[in-house]
Amino acid sequence: KVLVGTKVGEDHVNYILAYNMLTGIRVAVSRTTAKLDRELTDSDFTAKHKLAFDINGNELTPSAKYDFKFKDYAPWVFRHLRQLFRLDPADYLISLTSKYIVSELGSPGKSGSFFYFSRDYRFIIKTIHHSEHKFLRKILKEYYNHVKANPNTLISQFYGLHRVKLPYGRKIHFIIMNNLFPPHRDIHQTFDLKGSSIGRDYDEAKLETNKHATMKDLNWQRRDKHISLGPRKRDQFIKQLDIDVKLLERLHIMDYSLLIGIHDIQKGNTENIRDSTLTVFQPDTHILDRTPSKLERDRRVSLRRAFSTTNQATSEQIIDVLRQDEYPGRKNFVFYADDGGFRATNEQNIPMNEIYYLGVIDCLTNYSLVKKLETFLKGLHYSREKLSAVPPVEYGERFFKFIASIVKTPEQVRMMNAAATSA
């Protein structure tokens, strides 16, 4: 598992930030969840709710360990999105906040974003740049409509958008999304594919010390890899990818990639690296008791019940529960239905020995002036189709073409090779 992170202990600079994020999510989300469901209105898409936490607490917010401000963006829209993605509301809160255990994965990309995982490994909290935050708010309605029309979208599932403001003024925006990779299966190889070649090479020499690193396009090609999907699954995958990429093009998004983790069934689970990077936060269950007096009665009871069990459970027990019942809602989604992923098939649609855990990630980069400038500068030196910073439609077409070209069963690869040698 690529979970090579640092522990966020109480002495860690990011402990306070993580604590504040989780406390804010817990209070804000349970507040919205407690209300009776209703239809969305236009103003829900631009709504934002402010919460001020301090060590004393008041009628509106329970006391917290630190002083900070929290903003919850478009809470009703995200509540509906979580519903569309079949997340159970109590589950969501419990996974993210009950045990207060999060592991942090430094900043894997060059963007400077930080990633945190929920303890059960289902959710990722990613800090995002202010421009990405503004952009997501701008396209939220289109994103929502897309998800509604395409529940099987391959684009990242967004569950929440928030901001924490620390007393000395630093503002941190973050989103909560699905972790594509499962808690219960080793991922033997990971690739992040864009369909371009410049800068798309993970140093092979470094793989020896860091064999779980995320590899890129050139590493993929060097290994002559393919996504093996027989006609039935190929059709589902390509169709959905096409629809998704068209949306990204229309919204002027670029720089996204297909993240693909490969689990080799024959190797199975042998590499238990995951647990070494966990962090334990003290659970403040009192917050739950004092959160919204409006919490529906039954929800409160079920949350309490779950809290009392998870508080006693060890991490192994939690993982065990996940093993039996991985993701309750995931079975409903085409690309996450085979043990949390999408299993390889051959030309006869018969299952093969790999499970793909895949999706389109990093979808909040708008083709802005900065990118236009980058295209201009790099364009002076490199040929256009090799660059990653090209206009959105070009980016999307190149991306789609590349991914479509690597979806091939072993039979197809053999036929192609035979045709190539006989020619």
Question: Which range in 105-113, 194-202, 283-291, 366-374 contacts ligand ATP by CB under 6 A?
Answer: 105-113
Q: Which of residues 342-371 bind Ca ion (CB under 5 A)?
A: 362
Asked if 277 interacts with Ca ion (CB under 5 A), we say: no
Q: What region, left, alpha or beta, does residue 221 occupy, with left being phi > 0 and alpha being psi -120 to 50 degrees?
A: alpha
Of ligand ATP, Ca ion, none, which one does residue 180 interact with (CB within 5 to 8 Å by kind)?
ligand ATP
Of ligand ATP, Ca ion, none, which one does residue 110 interact with (CB within 5 to 8 Å by kind)?
ligand ATP
Asked if 108 interacts with ligand ATP (CB under 6 A), we say: yes
Question: Which range in 20-28, 136-144, 174-182, 345-353 contacts ligand ATP by CB under 6 A?
Answer: 174-182
With residue 388 as reference, give the H or E element that holds it: none
In the sheet with 342-345, reading across from the earlier edge strand, the strands are 214-215, 189-193, 257-264, 351-361, 342-345
Residue nearest to Ca ion (CB): 362
Q: Which is nearer to ligand ATP, 61 or 179 (CB)?
A: 179
Q: What region, left, alpha or beta, does residue 74 occupy, with left being phi > 0 and alpha being psi -120 to 50 degrees?
A: left
Asked if 260 interacts with ligand ATP (CB under 6 A), we say: no
Q: How far apart are CA 57 and CA 414, in angstroms?
A: 67
The amino acid occupying position 225 is: K
Asked if 389 interacts with ligand ATP (CB under 6 A), we say: no
**C-alpha dihedral (318, 160, 20, 362), degrees to nearest 10:** 90
Of positions 3, 27, 28, 124, contacts ligand ATP by CB under 6 A: 124
- 258: β partners: 193, 360
Asked if 111 interacts with Ca ion (CB under 5 A), we say: yes
Q: Which of residues 186-245 bind Ca ion (CB under 5 A)?
A: none
Q: Which is nearer to Ca ion, 111 or 315 (CB)?
A: 111
Of Ca ion, ligand ATP, none, which one does residue 375 interact with (CB within 5 to 8 Å by kind)?
none
Burial 261-277 (b: 16+ CB within 10 A, else e): bbbeeeeeeeeeebeeb
Question: Using a CB cutoff of 8 Å and minimum separation of 24, what contacts does 145-148 make?
Answer: 146/244, 146/247, 147/81, 147/84, 147/85, 148/84
Which residues of this chain interact with Ca ion, rule CB under 5 A? Answer: 111, 362
Which residues of this chain interact with ligand ATP, rule CB under 6 A? Answer: 2, 108-111, 113, 115, 124, 156, 177-181, 190, 192, 214, 259, 361-362
